[in-house]
Amino acid sequence: MKLLLKISFLLISITLYAQNGGIYEINSGRKGVKLFDSGNFRGKWSEIISLNLNNDGLSDLMLINHNKTKLKMLSVKDKITKVNSDIEMNFLWNFVNAVDLNGDKISEIVFMDSSCVNGRVCSYSTSENKYICDTLKSLSAIENPSHVIALRTDKSDSEKLLMYSSKSGIAAVYMVDQGNNLVKITDEFNLQKGFDQLIATNTNGDKISELMLLNKKKQFYKLVTFKENNVNTILDSVKVSIKWDNVINGNFGSGRSQGDFIFNSKSSGKQHIFKLDFNGLLVPFKYPTCNLGAKWDMIVPGKFSYNYTDGILLYKN
């Protein structure tokens, strides 16, 4: 009886461990070699973000528990190592972004509350092996922001922040200056109401982002770009024939820089993969469905090896 209980416990443990996922290469849109197992990701994390703690060309990871305002930083190279002890943030936030504010290919972390008036800017100190945070001073956030994302709107090396309100359709672009002031650098402009996911991508290899805005309920997307901080519409309303819960963007092997997209359905556990063509239209890969397996809570893209394509982290709570 004791032996049976031990075997049952072992099988349950193995099953739970396997379900937690890991980090994999992606080759031509298909799941490839497993790079790292899931042991470092155990815990109830509400968000995982890939970022750059240094400029070694590989992505690192930030694991976030929003309810406990707790962070965990992992460095990814030959192995995954914990950067420091879990970080307790004395601050409730709604938005968190990894942003290259200085153009040095190293990520700062910008936290904001629901109004985007209160926030923190955190920079990684290699000498102290931790993030050091200062107050973000915000003067002119848009009303009712629903999304804040990092992107490039000009040919400088530094990233900016775009705020968008799904309720009003209004958006504006901001920069964080040397004094940690959040400064609006564009007039407010209308991107249309109702989008529930925004993705800043790059298909041309230049520095300026394209912005994909997705409406999963009505199954369409809009594509815009920027020219010296002015927004230009590429495509206004393009229907997508499949249903999805979230979309993952990266370089998954099409040859179009960051112009590949995995449309993930949590309910079915299926993923469809597309690339953007030169007109901004989604074109299926040769193998249009990914073989990622389970119904993952999070699929996080990142440069986890020196392969020319991105890899993905598969995570299940």
pTM of structure: 0.88
Structure tokens at 8: 């049952």
pLDDT value for 45? 87
Listed as ranges, residues in the chain with pLDDT below 50 are 1-18
Closest to 62 in 3D by CA, of 44, 43, 47:
47
**R_g (Cα) of the chain, nearest Å:** 20
Which residues partner with 248 through β-bridges?
A: 262
pLDDT of residue 316: 85
Helix intervals (H) in 99-220: none
In the chain, the amino acid numbered 208 is: I
Taking phi first (over 0 means left), then psi (-120 to 50 degrees means alpha), and beta for anything else, what does residue 125 get?
beta
- In this prediction, residue 171 carries a pLDDT of 95
pLDDT at residue 139 in the model = 67
The confidence score (pLDDT) of residue 242 equals: 92
The pLDDT, as a whole number, for residue 100 is 95
Tokens read off for 232: 């230009």
φ and ψ at 9, to 5 degrees?
A: -65, -40
pLDDT at 11: 35
